[in-house]
Amino acid sequence: MSFEKEIASHFTNGHELYLRNISVDCVIFGFHQNELKVLLLQAKYAGIWALPGGFILKDEHMDEAAKRILKNRTGLNNIFMQQFHVFSNPGRSTKAINQQFLKNVGIEMKESWMFERFVTVGYTALVDFTKVEPIPDVFSAASEWHHLQSLPEMILDHRNILDTALQQLRTNLNYHPVGYNLLPEKFTMPELQILYETILNRKLDRRNFQRKIIGTKILKKLDETKKGVAHKAPNYYQFDLKNYKRALQGGLGFQLS
Amino acid sequence: MSFEKEIASHFTNGHELYLRNISVDCVIFGFHQNELKVLLLQAKYAGIWALPGGFILKDEHMDEAAKRILKNRTGLNNIFMQQFHVFSNPGRSTKAINQQFLKNVGIEMKESWMFERFVTVGYTALVDFTKVEPIPDVFSAASEWHHLQSLPEMILDHRNILDTALQQLRTNLNYHPVGYNLLPEKFTMPELQILYETILNRKLDRRNFQRKIIGTKILKKLDETKKGVAHKAPNYYQFDLKNYKRALQGGLGFQLS
């Protein structure tokens, strides 16, 4: 099917395949060696960028839809994503954007399910961005990791969705462990601190951080130091996976039992 | 408009007013003097119970829809509710239930937007149940507070939605303060502990609870004891609202800054 035919069919008949009025958008944060990035797609015909998003098939679980969308639109596979917030401002109309898109493709259409209002469910994940290679699909001109400090212009309320996800990621550092799959199996306390500082985008007090993170019991201190560093060789740690997983579930905080 | 006409109109033309394929369900927990309850509606013609729920108007924010639904269906007003999870199992079909309902009302209908699949967004709140008086609307035969230990049979996946909300309420005790608007302005440590024990449905160690809750800094100890109790008069406390609100936002736990 040609690109134009595929687009026309989606706008004319998509509502026979997908649920109406509800969509999914994915905020995929990538971390590697002191850099935090987010994955964005650039729509064909438009310079503007968007979160990878799409629709829920009529017989599909929303979590499966999020996975399918991410895989189809970026090439990323086997990413564990969590729903984090539903965005339902009645002003978030996709009508004008979709009409302009059709015009650019050279299609005229008066009515479409794609001109209706969409409530969108935000999904988020934090991955090692070197382990995945984004591939744009037929609807997108590019699929790229962007630095959070230099974001391009984004469509609709996607900047707000991204900011909300980032805020929740930062707040979640107070409740939940982070770092597994992002750090090497053995890591030093300064390396762990830099992960937190990169996500929070600010410096933390070294002693305070060390005291608190050790207090959470998610770390095991290894009987081994990092070689080849200039000053006092720092100790290696690894995650205590039993405690790490328990804290993922029940939280790091004020445990009553 | 008669009840039958109202129902027929809703099933025939409701999709002109409301978004399709997406609904809202409210889990309202009520606490008062060592009792935790949940608010349920009993559908007309059916003995079975349901969470108060409904649909989003085409130009309405979902949060406003949740408030409107709760007010219309229960008489509860000015309740701060939070979305907590989206339920999207493709097996949660409302078709059979809605067809049976129509049959009971005496209406025959082959097609309706109400027979389609709905993804539902769960909202939750915790209120003092003596401060609100639920009133059933035209669709419901009763609107009542139910003990969590003796729940009636519930429609669809509403029991799962309720269980998920309860699980989150319990987990949130580890992250966020609770009790403001549920306890009197001045309260004793045993009274606060009983609130936690009631929500968790298990006993907590007295010393451990006291040490941890004081460590959160959400309490102010008053220079005043409770009179007229048998043994050693317990001290009064009140919430430190500044710290309480900060912890509502940022969490009780592992504060890095």
Q: What is the ipTM of this complex?
A: 0.90
Share of chain A above pLDDT 70, in %: 97
The answer to whether position A217 is within a domain reads: yes
Share of chain B above pLDDT 70, in %: 97
Same domain, A123 and A194: no
- The per-residue pLDDT for A134 is 84
Lowest mean pLDDT among A97-106, B117-126, B191-200: A97-106
Q: Using pLDDT thresholds of 50, 70 and 90, give the confidence band for residue A130.
A: confident
* Mean pLDDT over each residue of chain B, to the nearest integer: 90
Alpha-carbon Rg for chain A, nearest whole angstrom, is 21
**Among candidates A20, A22, A204 on the partner chain, residue whose Cβ is nearest the Cβ of B256:** A204
Cβ–Cβ below 8 Å for B121 and A20: no
- The per-residue pLDDT for A145 is 94
For residue B144, give the nearest of B6, B13, B28, B22 by alpha carbon.
Answer: B28
Cβ–Cβ below 8 Å for A251 and B19: no
Residue A213 has pLDDT above 70, yes or no: yes
| pTM above threshold 0.90 | yes
The answer to whether position A176 is within a domain reads: no
Interface membership of A190 toward B (CB under 8 Å): no
How distant is the Cα of A85 from the closest Cα of chain B, in angstroms?
8
Q: How many CB atoms lie within 10 A of CB B80?
A: 10
Q: Using pLDDT thresholds of 50, 70 and 90, give the confidence band for residue A255.
A: low
Share of chain B above pLDDT 90, in %: 59
Tokens of A126: 């934090």
Most confident region among A172-186, B54-68, B162-176 by mean pLDDT: B54-68
Give the CATH number of the domain where residue A14 resides. 3.90.79.10
Q: Where are the alpha helices (DSSP H) in chain B?
A: 3-17, 62-74, 95-105, 158-172, 189-200, 206-215, 241-250
The answer to whether position A175 is within a domain reads: no
Same domain, A19 and A145: yes
- The per-residue pLDDT for B47 is 80
Residue B177 has pLDDT above 70, yes or no: yes
Domain of A55, in residue numbers: 3-167
Chain A residues closer than 8 Å to B19 by CB: 20-22, 117, 119
| pLDDT tens figures, B96-141 | 888 888 898 899 999 999 999 999 999 999 998 888 888 777 777 8
Same domain, A100 and A202: no
Establish, for the pair of chains A and B, how many residue pairs have beta carbons separated by less than 8 Å.
116
- The per-residue pLDDT for A229 is 72
For residue A176, give the nearest of A121, A124, A129, A221 by alpha carbon.
Answer: A124
- Over residues B194-221, mean pLDDT: 92
- Over residues B41-67, mean pLDDT: 92
The answer to whether position B181 is within a domain reads: no
- The per-residue pLDDT for B251 is 77
Interface membership of B214 toward A (CB under 8 Å): no
Residue B28 has pLDDT above 60, yes or no: yes
Q: How many CB atoms lie within 10 A of CB A101?
A: 19
Chain B residues closer than 8 Å to A58 by CB: 90, 117
Same domain, A22 and A104: yes
Cβ–Cβ below 8 Å for A19 and B119: yes
Same domain, B50 and B133: yes
The answer to whether position B163 is within a domain reads: no
Q: Using pLDDT thresholds of 50, 70 and 90, give the confidence band for residue B80.
A: confident
Q: How many residues in chain A?
A: 257
The answer to whether position B166 is within a domain reads: no
- Over residues A167-185, mean pLDDT: 88
* Mean pLDDT over each residue of chain A, to the nearest integer: 90
Surface of A (98-127) touching B: CB under 8 A: 117, 119, 121
Same domain, A205 and A155: no
Cβ–Cβ below 8 Å for B257 and A56: no
- Over residues A53-75, mean pLDDT: 91
Interface membership of B201 toward A (CB under 8 Å): no
Same domain, A48 and A160: yes
- Over residues A130-152, mean pLDDT: 85
**Among candidates B20, B86, B200 on the partner chain, residue whose Cβ is nearest the Cβ of A20:** B20
Residue A51 has pLDDT above 90, yes or no: yes
- Exposed / middle / buried, residue B199 (Cβ in 10 Å: 0-12, 13-18, 19+): buried
Give the CATH number of the domain where residue A206 resides. 1.10.10.10
Q: How many domains does chain A have?
A: 2
Tokens of B206: 């007295």
Better pLDDT: A160 or A134: A160
| pLDDT tens figures, B236-247 | 999 999 999 988
How distant is the Cα of A89 from the closest Cα of chain B, in angstroms?
5
**Among candidates B19, B175, B204 on the partner chain, residue whose Cβ is nearest the Cβ of A253:** B175
Surface of A (48-77) touching B: CB under 8 A: 56, 58-63
For residue B112, give the nearest of B1, B2, B3, B18 by alpha carbon.
Answer: B18
Better pLDDT: A247 or A165: A165
Same domain, A246 and A138: no
Cβ–Cβ below 8 Å for A171 and B250: yes
Same domain, A122 and A238: no
Better pLDDT: B151 or A254: B151
Chain B residues closer than 8 Å to A254 by CB: 173-175, 212-213, 215-216, 252-253
Q: Using pLDDT thresholds of 50, 70 and 90, give the confidence band for residue A175.
A: confident
Same domain, A148 and A244: no
Same domain, B13 and B124: yes
Beta strands in B75-205 (DSSP E): 82-87, 119-128, 140-147, 187-188
Lowest mean pLDDT among A233-247, B119-133, B243-257: B243-257
- The per-residue pLDDT for B50 is 93
Tokens of A37: 């990035």
For residue B9, give the nearest of B75, B105, B131 by alpha carbon.
Answer: B105
Better pLDDT: B89 or A80: B89
State how far the Cα of A248 lies from the Cα of A176, in Å rounded to an integer: 5
State how far the Cα of B112 lies from the Cα of B20, in Å rounded to an integer: 11
The answer to whether position A256 is within a domain reads: no
Lowest mean pLDDT among A82-91, B70-79, B151-160, B166-175: B70-79
Cβ–Cβ below 8 Å for B90 and A60: yes
Half-sphere exposure of B235 (CA within 13 A, CB side): 9
Same domain, A149 and A213: no
Q: How many CB atoms lie within 10 A of CB A13?
A: 12
Tokens of A76: 């990323």
